[in-house]
Structure 1
Amino acid sequence: MSNNKVSIKKNNDGLAEVLRALQQEEVIAYPTEAVFGLGCDPDSEKAVNALLALKQRPWQKGLILIAASYEQLKPYVDDSALSDLQRETIFSCWPGPVTWVIPARIDTPHWLTGDFDSLAVRVSDHPLVQQLCLQYGKPVVSTSANLSGLEPCRTEEEVRTQFGPSLPVLLGKVGGRLKPSEIRDALTGKQFRQG
């Protein structure tokens, strides 16, 4: 069996292992535009709770979903709350490093939105994130891969040091960005975090 895992990692950078882990409601790590992210299946409360415990993050803060396309995000956001101009502004930044806070659908799980009636979402331009979300068929949760008080991981080795050898990791390099994604409110344009 360990030969199979070595073969998977060698052949596709751990994608098959990471996809299996997502299906089994486990937490994964993967490279994004600036840092490694921790992620899981957004529809699994068990997986999200495991991610929050690992990250030592309160659920009330809400989470970010990262996707390959806006279509993947539509089951979670209230597209009807956006004007054509707001939608056009969002799409002009995607795929890319801007996260937009969009009103959530009424049935979006509370473990994603936290204390809010909105959800932070991004369509990534990182090729491995695109591949991961396309292969999985939906977005994944995205939060920086770091334990409380430590710097976010930028390499697989840093992920292994902080989280141990058993965490499934999609192998690859982070993009060239030095700062995390910018976060903006889709309705007002207000900037929550500078990118």
Structure 2
Amino acid sequence: MNLEVKNDNFMLCLDALHKNKVIAYPTEAVFGLGCNPDSETAVMKLLALKQRPAEKGLILIADTFAQLEPYVALQELSVTQKERMFASWPGPVTWVLPARPQTPRWLTGRFDSLAVRVTDHPLVKKLCREFGKPLVSTSANLSGQEPCRSAKEAYAQFGAEFPVLVGQTGGRANPSEIRDVLTGNQIRQG
């Protein structure tokens, strides 16, 4: 019975993504808010919900690097930079890469780069695999609130009708580390 509920919940969230809605889902440390990165409407809904300025740019989270390739300019990286990045994946390290010129500004904000991560969280991997593309990923919290660490907290902040993928976070204390792939410099400690 419990597996059916979880499967129904998964399908509800997957359906919400296909309808360009925002969902909450567990990641390595906290719950994330996500949506279809190719839908300006969906991303604007997410930014409005977070009260986050579009200029800040967003993170994409994916099952495999192949899902991220349409958004980033991999050819601009050296062999060493690629090796360093791929050695950290799948896992809780987000890398800032040069964006392709056609990558939408609603993802990159004021930057010519895009933050991306190949996750090792099994539910997120499955969600991205079934959806067929990466998801926007930003911490699930309303402006001024702490990031949600459980489905219960996500429902409390966003409402009982909000599509929340029920599951456990990866147990990390801090959100993902963010590094610049070109310089190797740490932007945010993990």
Letter in 2 for 1:89: R
Aligned counterparts of 1:9 and 1:152: Cα–Cα separation in 2:
28
State how far apart, in whole Å, the 1-side matches of 2:170 and 2:139 are. Answer: 14
Partner of 2:66: 71
Residue 188 (structure 1) aligned with residue 183 (structure 2): yes
* Aligned twin of 2:125: 130
Indicate the residue corresponding to 2:83 in structure 1.
88
Q: What corresponds to 2:103 in structure 1?
A: 108
Superposed displacement of residue 20, structure 1: 0.6
Deviation digits for residues 147-174 of structure 1, max 9, x if unmatched?
Answer: 1111100011100111111211111000
Contact 2:59 2:137 in 1 (8 A): yes
Instruction: Give the Å deviation of 1:7.
Output: 9.0
Cα distance in 2 for residues equivalent to 1:13 and 1:153: 22
CA gap of 1:13–1:191, structure 2 versus 1, over 3 A, is farther
Contact 2:9 2:165 in 1 (8 A): yes
How many corresponding residue pairs? 190
- Amino acid of the structure 1 residue aligned with 2:164: V
TM-score (norm 2): 0.97
Aligned to 1:48: 43
Q: Which amino acid is the alignment partner of residue 56 of structure 2?
A: K
Q: 2:170 aligns with which of 168, 175, 193?
A: 175
Q: Percent identity?
A: 64
Cα 1:194–1:11, aligned 2, differ >3 Å: closer, same or farther?
Answer: closer
| Correspondence for 2:52 | 57
Cα distance, 1:8 vs. partner? 8.7
Task: Indicate conservation of the 8 Å contact 1:60/1:114, yes or no.
Answer: yes
5+ long unaligned stretches in structure 1: 1-5
**Partner amino acid for 1:136?**
F
Unpaired segments ≥5 residues, structure 2: none
Contact 1:29 1:36 in 2 (8 A): yes
CA spacing shift, 1:132–1:85, aligned 2, 3 Å: same
Identify the residue that residue 119 of structure 1 maps to in structure 2: 114
Aligned to 2:11: 16
Q: Cα deviations across residues 19-75 of structure 1 (Å, max 9, x unaligned)? A: 110110100010000000000000000000000000110000000000001000000
Contact 1:183 1:194 in 2 (8 A): yes
**1:25 aligns to what?**
20
**Aligned equivalents of 1:7, 1:97: Cα separation in 2:** 29
